[in-house]
Each structure stands twice: as structure tokens, then as C-alpha cells.
């Protein structure tokens, strides 16, 4: 028995069938389409009189109670897991890199010393009246994040891979920013503690920044590989 092959017009029907069920990201659509198309082709080969509509319905029913959702859900979960692995592998790589760690330790010590100096000498910013070193680092982090966002251009922002990559590091140090201990104090213990926390957050943020770049590059590579097969943004095209 010769196996029947779907035409481009029929594949369009299949794409629309998947799209109608809420699977609209081109990456997710493509993950489902080949398996679905193989099933439909087998049905049409087995029963040549069968309509495409019937074959699609039967094939869809065979995907079980959740239909295509199980494929999308697992793609989301495990793409996120893969990206998390990339992120943590990069964090480990930085931690194992002795020259980089020595540089970071020196930087951390510099920030710590500068912060102690700012607390002792009451060097505050003009707006919030807080430790100028801490608040400066807060601003640097903000600018670095805005720069990262700006580098992810408009097309990439819509990418499934970039979206999942961003979700993978959503725990990133943003919460720590809010608790950056920059409020002025006279207590020597508090000065040392606050300066230590500022230095540690600064060092951690730099490690995070390096790892998140690597992660975004991986996601961008995945997206570009996908785009080389599917240059059109329209999932139905």
C-alpha cells in the first residue's frame, strides 16, 4: 500500500485545525504538526475514501482527553528546564573560573569598602537620601536590565524560545533590589552588615548577568534555527 502524502493545501487545513484549538505559537504548532500529519496520512492511506475532515477528527481523538495540550505543556515545562540547566551550568562555569572569581572578589571588596566609606561619611544621593554606593549600583542594575531588554529586538520578544528563557530566570535578583540595605545608619554593626550585603548582591548580580546572557544567546540560537525552517511569523503560513 502506497502511503498517501498530504499536499500543501491539506497541510494548511491541518495548521488551521491546530490553530483553532488555541495552539498559536509557530514553535508549538510545528511540534504538533508533523505527528498529527503522519497520523492523518496513515488514516487516509488506510481508508482512501475518507475525507480530510474525518481523518483530522479521528487523528485528534487519538491524542487523548487533553488533545494536543499534553505536547504543548511538556514542551513548555521541559524547554524551561533545559534553559534553567543552561543558566546554572553558566553560573557554575563562572564560579569555577578562578581569574573571573578573583576579579569579582576584588570588585566585591571595592564595593564593600566604598559602601562603608559612604555610610561613615554620610554620602547620600540627593533624591532618596540613601547610601550613594548602594543606590548607584541599583541604578547600574536597572540600566543593565534595560540594555538587555533593548537588545532583545521586537521580533525576538515575540519568540516562544525567548519567552520561555525569560520565564526560566524569573526568580533573578529583582527581589533583592528592593531589599538593598541602603538606608543611612550610625550603628557600626549595621554599616558592616549592610555593606557586606550590598557587595554580595553586586557580585551575585554580575554572575547572574553573565549567565542570563548565555541563556538568551541559547534561546536566540534555538529561535534562529527554527526561523531557518519557518521564516514566516504567521503560524498558518
Partner 1 sequence: MEQNQVVKGSLTTIIMKLLEDNGRMYGYEMTKAVKEITANKMNITEAALYPALHKLVADDILTTTTEMVDGRMRKYYTLTKKGKKETANKISALQEALDSVQLILNPKIANG
Binding residues vs partner 1 (CB under 8 A): 5-6, 8, 11, 30-31, 33-35, 37-39, 62-64, 66, 70-71, 73-75, 77-79, 81-82, 85, 225-226, 229-230
Cβ-based nearer residue to partner 1, 41 or 125: 41
Cβ-based nearer residue to partner 1, 75 or 176: 75
CB 37, CB 11: distance < 8 Å = yes
Cβ-based nearer residue to partner 1, 34 or 186: 34
Burial class (CB in 10 A: 0-12, 13-18, 19+), 44: buried
51 DSSP assignment: -
Cβ-based nearer residue to partner 1, 41 or 145: 41
- For the chain, the distance separating the N- and C-terminal CA atoms, rounded to the nearest angstrom, is 31
Q: How far is the CB of 20 from partner 1 (least distance, A)?
A: 18
2 DSSP assignment: P
Q: How far is the CB of 212 from partner 1 (least distance, A)?
A: 18
Cell of 206: 554580575
For residues 233, 147, 214 and 207, what is the CA-based torsion angle, rounded to 10 degrees?
A: -150
SS3 124: strand
Q: How far is the CB of 53 from partner 1 (least distance, A)?
A: 19
Q: How far is the CB of 133 from partner 1 (least distance, A)?
A: 40
Amino acid at each position: 500500500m502506497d502511503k498517501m502524502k498530504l499536499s500543501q493545501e491539506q497541510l494548511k487545513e491541518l495548521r488551521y485545525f491546530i490553530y483553532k484549538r488555541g495552539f498559536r505559537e509557530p514553535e508549538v504548532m510545528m511540534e504538533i504538526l508533523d505527528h498529527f500529519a503522519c497520523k492523518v496520512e496513515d488514516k487516509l492511506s488506510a481508508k482512501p475514501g475518507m475525507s480530510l475532515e474525518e481523518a483530522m477528527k479521528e487523528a485528534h481523538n487519538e491524542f487523548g482527553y487533553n488533545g494536543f495540550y499534553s505536547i504543548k505543556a511538556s514542551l513548555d515545562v521541559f524547554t524551561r528546564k533545559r534553559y534553567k540547566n543552561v543558566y546554572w551550568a553558566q553560573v557554575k562555569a563562572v564560579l569555577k573560573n578562578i581569574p573571573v572569581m578573583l576579579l569579582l572578589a576584588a570588585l566585591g571588596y571595592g564595593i564593600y569598602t566604598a559602601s562603608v566609606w559612604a555610610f561613615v561619611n554620610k554620602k547620600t544621593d540627593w533624591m532618596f537620601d540613601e547610601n550613594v554606593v548602594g543606590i548607584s549600583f541599583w541604578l547600574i542594575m536597572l540600566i543593565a536590565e534595560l540594555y538587555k531588554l533593548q537588545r532583545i529586538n521586537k521580533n525576538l520578544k515575540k519568540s516562544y524560545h525567548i519567552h520561555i528563557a525569560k520565564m526560566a530566570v524569573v526568580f533573578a535578583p529583582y527581589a533583592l533590589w528592593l531589599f538593598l540595605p541602603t538606608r543611612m545608619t550610625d550603628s557600626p554593626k549595621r554599616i558592616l552588615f549592610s555593606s557586606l550585603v550590598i557587595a554580595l548582591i553586586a557580585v551575585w548580580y554580575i554572575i547572574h548577568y553573565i549567565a542570563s546572557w548565555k541563556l538568551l544567546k541559547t534561546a536566540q540560537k534555538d529561535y534562529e534555527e527554527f526561523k531557518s525552517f519557518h521564516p514566516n511569523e504567521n503560524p498558518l503560513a
